[in-house]
Amino acid sequence: MQEFLNNIIPNVMAKLPDFYAAIGDTLLMVVWSGAISFVLGLTLGVLITVTKPGGILENKIVYQILDKLVSLFRSIPFIILLTWVMPVSRAIMGTAIYVRGAIVPLVFGAVPFFTRQVESALAELDPGLIEAALSMGSTPLEIIFRVYLKESVAAIARGTTITAISLLNLTAMAGVVGAGGLGDFAIRYGHDRNMLDVTNVTVLVLVIIVCIMEFVGGKVVKKNTH
């Protein structure tokens, strides 16, 4: 088997330690930035939903500020965002490169996207459920957790899956500026040194990771669909 692999992907086999490290770095970036983005995006999505006109905690000032900030960061191309938030990365993480340095820009890139996903998921909720909860004297906090979030698990899971896949793509782009991971591995060897097998295997691994994400997300959606 090893001889067969040496024949079809010789450059990858010669750099297996680097390849495994690149996969580990990519997964680290996705997990850490994904977890932070999930918490922040979910919070912002809920806040925008409940403070919008007609919301249970209507507040035009808060809504306008949050909505415009999310729109602002969504409009910035990620490759520009990477360089723009470098000072913030250095201040928070102590570096603007490698995996640690990539987490901050990845969060900045993913949070606005996921916020809109959450906002869209909550907007699908039947308004009658909110009205029923209000008529029974439920507090805003109870409505958020027992109605908005509980009834939107499937839709939020779909948005989470889409965001996770998008985040994986962003990690590959972050490799351009020295973040490490599969993107850096493919560019450094596959592109710069014209090792086609490195590029092909990197693409295959990314496709497999995406398929796993879609499978897990689909299972969660199916389990929570009423």
Residue ranges of domains in the chain, CATH in brackets: 2-223 (1.10.3720.10)
Digit-coded pLDDT (tens) for 122-169: 998 888 888 888 888 888 898 899 899 988 999 999 999 999 999 998
Mean pLDDT over residues 10-22, rounded? 88
Residue 43 has pLDDT above 80, yes or no: yes
> Which residue has better confidence, 2 or 115?
115
Mean pLDDT over residues 167-193, rounded? 82
Digit-coded pLDDT (tens) for 97-131: 777 888 888 999 999 999 999 999 999 888 888 88
Give the model's pLDDT for residue 98.
79
| pTM for this predicted structure | 0.90
Give the model's pLDDT for residue 156.
94
Residue 226 has pLDDT above 70, yes or no: no
Mean pLDDT over residues 178-204, rounded? 85
Residue 214 has pLDDT above 80, yes or no: yes
Give the model's pLDDT for residue 95.
74
Mean pLDDT over residues 166-174, rounded? 87
Structure tokens at 7: 């024949």
Structure tokens at 170: 């962003």
Mean pLDDT of the chain: 88
Give the model's pLDDT for residue 164.
94
For residues 102 and 179, is the Cβ–Cβ distance under 8 A?
yes
> Which residue has better confidence, 75 or 93?
75
